[in-house]
Structure 1
């Protein structure tokens, strides 16, 4: 199963039994040592072992021989044998340089490609010499080391001399690098690492950062050693940060001084069995690559993301959020299973090779739309059939097509980069940060509108009341005219020689006369009641009649008829009694009224005015009219008071309407502040919001209802704030009041006010600031990239991301400088599977797995002639069958990339020098 580059433990500094220096191993022999070595390696899940020794690779060859014969070893189970066979063994020669550090020699480690051991021995080791005297030198081979040892002590035998020679052999660093650089094959197949530690290494007792920050007589030589080295042997965090440009010196300064950023690797430096694969403080070396020499070289190109020193793997994803592989059951496809990397998987291929089809089937099975709308999706009806038998297996082992993924179909980012699309995305992002942010705003606006609707209704009702009251006033006449009429009528009374009478006396007379008339009416009613009372008898109360033929029963001395007659007599007596009492009360009331009337009739003032009035009968109609006008005057005053009361209510409600209307702006301001205060923590990506006047909606409202002058209508687009809008409203309102403006369709002023104050006429406007640019000022390609960032960077989701050819929506600069950077960062957090035809996306985003698609044709052959076939591997994969006639099998992944993707070779070169000059 090919998942491409995956994290694994690499221990690149392991000594063996019979190591040339400091051999503390307790194993009886190399065979026993190897058993312990590989048993431990299996237990620790070690992928690569760097067999290390001083100045030679003899012990490496012995370990390699043990591994190659593992299937004949009865000390291992079949499963263990398979695991041992998969462990990659790499030779690591440890060399001492000339004395240039303060307290010790400097260690240099050269890691070789095992496939080129012969070249190493013949082209490198034999050419390295150590001067014994002015005219004598020793080569770096067994013969030369014995020669050196015996020169120092002639008494030693060959084995003793060999070890003595190793102890004192030092390498001229410049000579070493010159030999390597002059041999292209050698240069391509060995890596030089400078050791660093407390007791040895280039910095002696200092860290690299401390050493390079110091000034000393041999600092130039040190810089030269660092510059020529491919990497550093160090587990110090400060060293790692420094050589990646994250320490005291910037990456630019490191590149300028040392040539390129340097990866740091580490090993257990085991000299005992207990120390095997157990470096101090669990500072394990993790490398994300194929367990090959080519995989090791990837840390040169990605010194930060491909290697990690620590107790655990640096990247973690939940198993239920990683698609492990898919199972295919399709006669047109050769593959039965296709695996994915948990980081970045890229799918490449020529036109119609099935690369997008594979992604579409995956998305369809996961119930994701393949296009913007149903009409466009009809083009993919065949995908439903192709994906029907597809099974999606997640890393937790479950088959599940209901789990969440984020799918970006081809052209998705471009379509979503429109204003409406970007608004929806921004809202979704904001809701992830504050789920109730819009609900609170909508609820507040709804309550405000309900409140204002109540105010507007009461305002309109009060206006209608005043309208009705004014109509009543019109019927009553003018208040001043009524007052004038009263003056005229009073003047007529005066002219009737009723000078002895004044208005007060007349009013007194009329009041008394009204009482007299009222009392007489009451007395007449009482007399009528008395008459009816006299005629009332028991038969009027009870209408039933007792029949006389009810027989009696002889045995019971009781007659029902007699009994009923007695009851009748009793009731009749009670009625008579009540009649007498009621009559007495009525007669008493008549006497009271008669007494009151006699008092009035005997009243001197009453009789004097009555006498005068009887003499002036023509004053009566005038006096009657005076009473009518007085009543009218009172009614007018009451109506005016009621109008004034309603007008105060109107003023109060209008004030409330305006204040409540302004609350909508306050809520919008609060929402804007809430949005602008949300911290996305996404570097240069900022979401901002503001108020925007709805010119089109407001102009439509105005144009429908009014016949405004064109000059007034032209002011609408200039409105920017609520105060400017309110000023414009007042212009229209004043024009309606003074009738310089007329509304269409008989629309009233009150109707205009109601509709205006029912809305704020402003809406929320979003903007995205990225890299200093406002969204509307971005190129279309940059907008599309921002859509991708908003969807993914601002999302809290950790589900897989599936993208079909994102570069189609982005310009070239965005692809390399933005998309590549984004993919490299995001893939450590979320699984990404994408189809691309751009080499930069594959290579410079350091795709962990590349899937190559091919459609069978006359010049591109698939296995068994199947229509579609896929092959998978890492960028560093060296697997290929050069003699094969099959298109996919005969090339390495790198060769496929360079052949299929235009600019692939250039992209590889760019990757290899991006952290160097």
Structure 2
């Protein structure tokens, strides 16, 4: 199972029984010790161990020998194997490597020697006697090899009786000369390629303790500066768990300070490289000298279990090394693709499993080698919406079944779920929210933005922002609010024009009524005549007064009757409308209760909102109460007691009494006929006068309402704009995190000026020159992203509104004022997301740079932690954007999400430190033919996997290591490795 570079627990500094100094191990023999040793290693999940001793490889060789013989190790008591088969398998996989611990002059401020550790490539061990032990010496010129240590021990104490005692004494006191170690590193490239030097940085035995009160982060001066600098410069890493050390040696000491930016980081990195030779990882080991402390500490290293894998920490000191309890780069198992597999009965594709790394996987290969087919197959298996898989001609890029009729493809997650590409249509994706970015997709998004053609990118940004459930909820609420406000505004406009129509009708009706002055004159004249006729009829003054009172009372009775009719109609209409509204509210209530998931909430609100049922019941009862029925005689009557029934009975009773009271005053029949005619005329004139006054009052009231509705219409327009402002502010937090990558997204409420101009102009009579007076809105060249002051726009809208209404803004005969106002006051707003990258506006960037920024948006805004699939992101990017921007971005984002990339670019493979390299090959597409049984073949491994080209191997993918494939396939691959290693001043030949 090869997943490339993986996080594993390494212990770099473990002494074993028989160590040359401070041996506190209590095991009775080596077998007993190594039983405990490996049991504890398994319990603690340790996969790589640096067997450490002073000036010696003997203990390392003991451990290797024990593992070689582990199958035969028997418990003497039970005669059973000491380890189970599973444990034996695990122990054999543990990477054992030698750590030779040296001590170096000068002593520290605490009179302790400096500890230097040399980690060696196990394959280099046979050459160490000559290249290492036989080369280094102390200041007296005595060699560090075993013979030299014996001689040195004899010099210290001539009374020591055996070579073993003299050797022990020599180990206790021998110190190497820094000069000889520097010469060895400078002159022996083989040694340098196979050794990693670690210097301790503790206060007792480390380089940082050379100078009294030494502060690692202050300027250095004095005679010891050069010595300390030399020690750091020959080292590749540091033994330290101090947080200050870790940050300093990574060039990140100042990252928490205010104003920290890329330039400060670059300068600090340069300072560390200049003064310390390179950026360096900090490591930790348990430094055990007894069984009790075995594997009590460890370091997480991301690499193959090989020396070449370990060597990668020199190139990626931050991303490949972590000192912490939990496994780094945590990702949920359900969102990590662990393996994929082509199901190809005719062996068109490799049938064996291809494993993926949780971090960055790159797929490389020659032209038409099957790179993109692999990525496409993963995407097609998992994507619910497969529109993005199609070309411009609406066909999928790869018709997989045409390549092989029985073809299928399987994706398996780390959580243990598997899924076939061709499966039951009802089976949902196991990772539905993966992101797939096909070749040229970024360019297609970038070009419309740059060329100002369309606005797909703004929608993409909005959709990405709303991947977050909370943000989507806020945006959905915003859309709902805006739609309701748009509906309310349209209703207000309809009502506004209904009122205008009503005023117009009232005006027309008013014109049909008599002149008010004429009516008032007629009433006064006829009243005088009635009085004169009554005198002729013999009525005295008192009777005339009484008669006039009765006539006035009769008039009031008639007015009361008219008011009754009006109030009954208004009440009946109100109750009918109210019942309809309450029934709508009941429907909303029912939907609301059904949408509640918790029984507690539905029960609570069902009880609290039962008042709606009560209101409906009461309204229906009120409606029944005033119901009118016809009697057998054809009369309308109230069957139920109510306030209207009481009122009409009182009116009718009063009318009957008035008629009775008027009877005595009727004496002269001819005169009374005249009086009756005049009274009827007076009554009719008064009625007409009342109607005129009522019409005038209605017209006045409705005109006041019209102005009120106009205000409300524009208040609703304000509310719509405020909704856009509000939602942008609410979504702001989703974009802030991207600023650390130099990417800024600023939400702005914009008006689509081009759309409003086009919409208004289409219904306008364009012959009127004064239409150009409204330049803030109706300007041909205004763009959708032009800035504006909302209050100025609103005042312009009001001016156009008034001009349409008073006719000075002429509209086409084919439309009307109502439609024109609706078009004018449509919601032309939109939420615009202005994008800048390192102070460059997206619309002003090159297509390549814009493509990279869009990639950042897709990855950075995506709330999902599911895998990202990218096909050749380097397309259209210049080299600087790739080596600097894209590489750094992928290095950072792979820590958060699994990334799978098809690429031809060596910098993405090498300098983004891809954990897993998948090499694709198609028969007949290369100069070198392959004997692989598959037409499309794949292999994979870590970037540090190296194997010289085997010319006798005819299967191309097996003929060399991953590193060599990269150097051969990817353009500039060899140079990328060289540049990467030069960057850290740690160079190895790549052939």
TM-score range with shorter-chain normalisation? Answer: 0.7 to 0.9
* 1:3 CA drift (Å): 0.9
Cα 1:165–1:652, aligned 2, differ >3 Å: closer, same or farther? closer
Aligned residue in 1 for 2:400? 382
Structure 1 residues 710 and 268: alpha-carbon distance in aligned structure 2, compared to 1, 3 A threshold: same
Q: Deviation digits for residues 738-763 of structure 1, max 9, x if unmatched?
A: 54443212544445335434x24333
- Would the aligned equivalents of 1:372 and 1:412 in 2 still touch at CA under 8 Å? no
Alignment match of 1:686 (pick from 744, 748, 752): 744
1:20-59 superposed matches below 5 A: 20-59=20-59
**1:834, CA displacement in angstroms?**
1.5
TM-superposed deviation, 1:464: 1.7
Q: Does 1:160 align with 2:165?
A: yes
Corresponding residue SS for 1:688: strand
CA distance, structure 1, for counterparts of residue 302 and residue 281 of structure 2 = 13
- The verdict on how the C-alpha distance between 1:202 and 1:730 changes in structure 2, with shifts beyond 3 A counting, is closer
Cα distance in 1 between the residues matched to 2:958 and 2:389: 34
Equivalent residues of 2:199, 2:239 under 8 A apart? yes
Correspondent of 1:816 among 883, 894, 901: 883
Shift of 1:154: 2.2
Match of 1:532 in 2: none
Alignment CA distance shift 1:698-1:257 (3 Å): same
SS at match of 1:129: coil
Give 1:328 shift: 2.8
Query: Looking at CA atoms only, which structure, 1 or 2, has the larger radius of gyration?
Result: 1
- Residue equivalent to 1:345: 361
Which of 319, 327, 330 lines up with 1:313 in the alignment? 327
1:866 aligns with 2:922: no
Match of 1:178 in 2: 183
Residue 856 (str. 1) matches residue 923 (str. 2): yes
Alignment match of 2:312 (pick from 298, 303, 311): 298
Q: What is the aligned partner in structure 2 of residue 409 from structure 1?
A: 438
Match of 1:696 in 2: 754
Flag the 1:774–1:361 CA change in 2: closer, same or farther, 3 A: same
8 Å CA contact 1:675, 1:688 repeated in 2: no
Deviation at 1:477, TM superposition (A): 5.8
Q: Give the whole-Å Cα distance in 2 for the aligned partners of 1:311 and 1:337.
A: 32
Alignment of 1:873-912 (within 5 A): 873-879=941-947, 882=950, 883-912=952-981
Instruction: Identify the range of structure 1 (307-316 vs 367-376) with the bigger mean alpha-carbon deviation.
Output: 367-376
1:371 matches 2:400: no
Change (3 A) 1:869 1:724: same
1:101 has 2:108 as partner: yes
- Indicate yes or no: 2:260 matched with 1:254: no
Deviations 1:463-520 (A, max 9, x none): 2222222223333466568789999x99x99xxxxxx99xx99x989x99x99xx9xx
Kept in 1, the 8 Å contact 2:947–2:963? The answer is no
Task: Mark the CA change 1:480 to 1:111 in structure 2 (over 3 Å): closer, same or farther.
Answer: same
Segment drifting more, 847-856 vs 308-317: 308-317
Report the counterpart of residue 274 of structure 1 in structure 2: 292
Please state if 1:128 is matched with 2:132: no
1:459–1:650 contact (8 Å) kept in structure 2? yes
Q: Could you say if the C-alpha distance between residues 737 and 452 of structure 1 is closer, same or farther in structure 2, counting changes exceeding 3 Å? A: closer
Quote the residue 1:361 is aligned against. Answer: 377
The root-mean-square deviation of aligned C-alpha atoms, in Å, is 4.0
Match of 1:712 in 2: 771
Give yes or no for contact 2:139–2:177 (8 Å, CA) kept in 1: no
Q: Pick from 146, 151, 159 the counterpart of residue 150 of structure 2.
A: 146
Does the residue aligned with 1:390 lie in a helix, a strand or coil?
strand
Q: Secondary structure at the match of 1:327?
A: strand
Q: Counterpart of 1:458? A: 495
Flag the 1:453–1:82 CA change in 2: closer, same or farther, 3 A: closer
The whole-number CA distance in structure 1 between the counterparts of 2:319 and 2:944 is 15
Describe how 1:209-220 pairs up with structure 2 within 5 A.
210-211=215-216, 213=218, 217-220=223-226
Which is worse superposed, 625-634 or 99-108?
625-634
Alignment of 1:302-701 (within 5 A): 302-330=316-344, 331-367=347-383, 369=386, 371-372=389-390, 375-382=393-400, 388-400=407-419, 402-404=429-431, 405-417=434-446, 418=448, 419-430=455-466, 432=468, 433-476=470-513, 599-601=665-667, 635-676=691-732, 678=734, 680-682=736-738, 683=740, 684-701=742-759
CA contact under 8 A between 1:862 and 1:868: conserved in structure 2? no
Q: 2:843 aligns with which of 764, 776, 795?
A: 776
CA change 1:484–1:196 in 2 (3 A) is same
Please state how far the C-alpha of 1:435 moved relative to its aligned partner: 2.8
CA contact (8 A) 2:55 2:171 kept: yes
2:398 alignment partner, SS class: helix
Q: Distance in 2 between matches of 1:711 and 1:851?
A: 69
1:248-299 Cα offsets, whole Å, 9 max, x none, are 6933321231121111222222222333222xxxx31121111111111111
Any conservation in 2 of the 1:486–1:626 contact (CA below 8 Å)?
yes
CA distance in 2 between counterparts of 1:437 and 1:320 reads 27
> Could you say if the C-alpha distance between residues 383 and 909 of structure 1 is closer, same or farther in structure 2, counting changes exceeding 3 Å?
farther
Partners of 1:209 and 1:238 within 8 A in 2? no
Alignment correspondent of 2:259 = none
Q: State the match for 1:838 in structure 2.
A: 905
Q: What are the superposed Cα offsets for residues 225-268 of structure 1, whole Å, 9 maximum, x if unpaired?
A: 11221111223333222211223693332123112111122222
Q: How many residues align?
A: 820
> Which secondary structure state, in structure 1, belongs to the residue aligned with residue 171 of structure 2?
helix
Q: How does 1:196-275 map to 2 (within 5 A)?
A: 196-204=201-209, 210-211=215-216, 213=218, 217-247=223-253, 250-275=268-293
Distance in 2, Cα, partners of 1:78 & 1:885:
36
2:471/2:731 contact within 8 Å kept: no
Distance 1:701 1:378 in 2: 38
Q: 1:872 to 1:451 in 2, by over 3 A?
A: closer
* Cα separation, partners in 2 of 1:398 and 1:469, compared to 1, 3 Å: closer
SS state of the match for residue 14, structure 1? strand
Q: 2:365–2:920: 8 Å Cα contact kept in structure 1?
A: yes
**Larger deviation: 48-57 or 349-358?**
48-57
* Alpha-carbon distance in 1 for matches of 2:190, 2:419: 49
CA contact (8 A) 2:931 2:954 kept: no
Following TM superposition, by how much is the alpha carbon of 1:5 offset from its aligned partner in structure 2, in angstroms?
A: 0.8
Residue 606 of structure 2 corresponds to which residue in structure 1? Answer: none
Structure-2 change in CA distance of 1:594 and 1:235 (3 Å): closer
Partner residue in 1 for 2:863: 796
Alpha-carbon deviation of 1:367?
Answer: 3.6
**Distance (Å, rounded) in 2 between the aligned partners of 1:598 and 1:711:** 75
Normalized against structure 2, the TM-score is what?
0.75
With over 3 angstroms needed to count, the CA separation of the structure-2 counterparts of 1:234 and 1:388, relative to structure 1, is same
Q: Hey, what's the Cα distance between the residues in 2 that align with 1:406 and 1:248?
A: 35
Per the TM alignment, residue 678 of structure 1 is displaced from its structure 2 partner at its CA by: 4.9
**Distance 1:372-1:690 versus aligned 2 partners, 3 A rule:** farther
Measured in 2, the distance between the counterparts of 1:785 and 1:52 equals 48
Tell me, in whole angstroms, the C-alpha distance in 2 between the residues paired with 1:678 and 1:672. 10
Structure 2 residue matching 1:697: 3-state secondary structure? helix
SS of 2:215's equivalent in the other structure is helix
Aligned-pair CA distance for 1:697: 2.8
Q: Structure 1 residues 15 and 375, CA, compared in 2 at 3 Å: closer, same or farther?
A: same
Once the two structures are TM-superposed, the CA of residue 339 in structure 1 deviates from its matched residue by 0.8
Deviation of 1:698 (Å): 2.0
For 1:764 and 1:740, the matched residues in 2 are separated by: 33
Checking the alignment, whether the CA contact within 8 Å between 1:104 and 1:204 is kept in structure 2 is no
More deviation in 662-671 or 857-866? 857-866
Deviation at 1:300, TM superposition (A): 0.4
Q: Do the aligned partners of 2:882 and 2:907 also contact (CA within 8 Å) in 1?
A: yes
* Deviation of the 1:384 alpha carbon: 8.0
Closer, same or farther: CA 118–679 of 1 in aligned 2, 3 Å: same
Kindly indicate whether the alpha-carbon contact (under 8 Å) linking 1:429 and 1:790 is maintained by their aligned counterparts in 2.
no
Distance in 2, matches of 1:105 and 1:348, equals: 50
SS at structure 2 position matched to 1:807:
coil
Secondary structure at the residue paired with 2:832? strand
Contact 2:196 2:236 in 1 (8 A): yes
Residues 209, 248 of structure 1: 8 Å contact kept: no
What is the DSSP-based 3-state SS (H/G/I as helix, E as strand, rest coil) of the residue aligned with 1:377? coil
Q: Alpha-carbon deviation of 1:63?
A: 2.6
What SS does the corresponding residue of 1:138 show, helix, strand or coil?
A: coil
Measure, in 2, the Cα distance between the counterparts of 1:5 and 1:270: 28
Unaligned runs of at least 5 residues, structure 2 = 75-80, 256-267, 421-428, 449-454, 530-535, 555-654, 987-991
Q: CA deviation at 1:680?
A: 3.6
